[in-house]
Amino acid sequence: MNRYETGKKASKMYNNMDSSNNNYDYQPGMIYRNPNPEFVGFWIRLLAVLIDCVILEILTWFSPFNWVAEWILGFIYFTLLPCTAWQGTVGKLILGVKIVDEEGEKISYLRSIGRYLAVYVSAIILCIGFIMIAFNEKKRGLHDLIAGTYVIKKESKLYE
């Protein structure tokens, strides 16, 4: 892979570069992929989901239509929060991780819906889509591959 990539962040990234921190040859209009972003593995992601499930259970505990309220609130929760500045759910926020697209940016609402629906695909096939996270170099599950997303540590960046 070429270390120089063009993209929508090129001019912004070039203006913010500090060449004293590394040995790259900076050129105008280029952005540099971080060679070592910190991808988040299976157990941290599982813990984040468990935190989210506890939050949803508390919010829907007294609802007379518990399963309907939980499904509707869950859809809103898991599709809307990743599109905000938090870039993830409350569980991910607590654990210091975020969901990003291929360019390291916040994901769109449409991509978030696709990711949410792809989670069901990961679950239907005996959870193999989730188990993939433990064995994939970039810690991506099937739902991440389908939606074009990555889960990385909050302070990590795909691009420098």
Q: What does the domain layout of the chain look like in residue ranges?
A: 1-33, 42-153
Q: How confident is the model at residue 59 (pLDDT cuts 50, 70, 90)?
A: confident
104-144 pLDDT, tens digit each = 899 999 999 999 999 999 999 999 999 999 999 999 999 99
Rounded to whole angstroms, the Cα distance separating 149 from 21 reads: 28
**139: alpha, beta or left, given left = phi > 0 and alpha = psi -120 to 50?**
left
Contact 37, 151 (CB under 8 A): no
How far from chain centre, in Å, is Cα 44? 13
Q: How confident is the model at residue 63 (pLDDT cuts 50, 70, 90)?
A: confident
